[in-house]
C-alpha cells in the first residue's frame, strides 16, 4: 500500500513539474517568434555543437531538405551560420552564433524560473526534507535499467549553473 501511494505521489509530482516546465518553455519559444522545430534545432546545436544539416534532419526526424530550410531561416535571423568543415572542405558545418547562445541561455533560465519560486515557497523544514528525499529518488532512478540517453539529453536536464 505504501509503495502504491509513493508511486502515485511521484507521478503527481512528475506531471506538475512537466506541465510547468513545458508551459514555460512554450511561452518562451512563442515570445521569440521562432517555431518549435527552429528552437529544437538551436537546442541540438547548443548541447551537441556544430554538425552537418543531415545530422540536424536526423535529430529532428525531418528530411535533409526540410532541415536545410530551417537552417536557412535561422541564418537569415543571425542565429546560425554555415561554415566550412576543417576536416572536410566539401562539408558545411552548421553552428550557432553568440546571439543564439544568449537566446537559449535566456530560455533555459525562463524554463526553470518557477523552480526558484517553488523553493522560496518552502519553509526551512520542508527544504531540509526535500534535500534528504530527492537525492534518494535520483539514486533509485540511476539503478533502473539504462535508457538511451545521448549527451544532449543528459545536458538538457542540467541547470545552467551545472553546465558551465
Q: How much is the pTM?
A: 0.74
Segments forming the whole domain that contains residue 19: 2-163
Q: Which helix (H) or strand (E) holds 90?
A: strand 88-96
Indicate which CATH number applies to the domain containing 155. 1.10.10.10
Pairing mode, strands 88-96 and 80-85: antiparallel
Report whether pLDDT(154) > 70: no
- Provide the mean pLDDT of the chain: 87
Cα 38 from chain centroid (whole Å): 13
Instruction: Report whether 93 contacts 83 (CB < 8 A).
Output: yes
**Residue 79: which residues within 8 A CB-CB, separation 6 or more?**
42, 96, 97, 99, 100, 103
What average pLDDT does this structure show over 29-45? 93
What mean pLDDT comes out for the span 31-36?
Answer: 93
Q: What is the predicted pLDDT for the residue at 149?
A: 52
Q: Count how many domains the chain has.
A: 1
Q: Which residue has the higher pLDDT, 151 or 75?
A: 75
Amino acid at each position: 500500500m505504501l509503495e502504491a501511494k509513493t508511486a502515485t505521489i511521484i507521478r503527481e509530482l512528475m506531471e506538475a513539474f512537466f506541465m510547468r516546465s513545458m508551459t514555460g518553455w512554450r511561452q518562451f519559444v512563442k515570445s521569440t517568434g521562432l517555431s518549435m522545430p527552429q528552437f529544437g534545432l538551436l537546442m541540438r546545436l547548443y548541447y551537441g555543437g556544430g554538425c552537418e544539416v543531415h545530422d540536424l534532419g536526423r535529430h529532428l526526424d525531418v528530411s535533409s531538405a526540410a532541415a536545410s530550410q530551417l537552417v536557412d531561416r535561422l541564418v537569415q535571423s543571425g542565429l546560425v551560420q554555415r561554415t566550412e568543415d576543417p576536416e572536410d572542405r566539401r562539408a558545411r558545418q552548421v553552428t550557432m552564433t553568440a546571439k543564439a547562445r544568449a537566446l537559449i541561455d535566456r530560455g533555459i533560465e525562463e524554463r526553470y524560473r518557477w523552480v526558484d519560486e517553488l523553493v522560496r515557497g518552502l519553509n526551512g523544514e520542508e527544504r531540509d526534507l526535500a534535500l534528504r528525499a530527492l537525492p534518494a529518488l535520483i539514486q533509485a532512478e540511476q539503478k533502473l535499467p539504462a535508457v538511451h540517453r545521448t549527451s544532449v539529453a543528459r545536458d538538457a536536464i542540467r541547470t545552467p549553473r551545472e553546465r558551465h
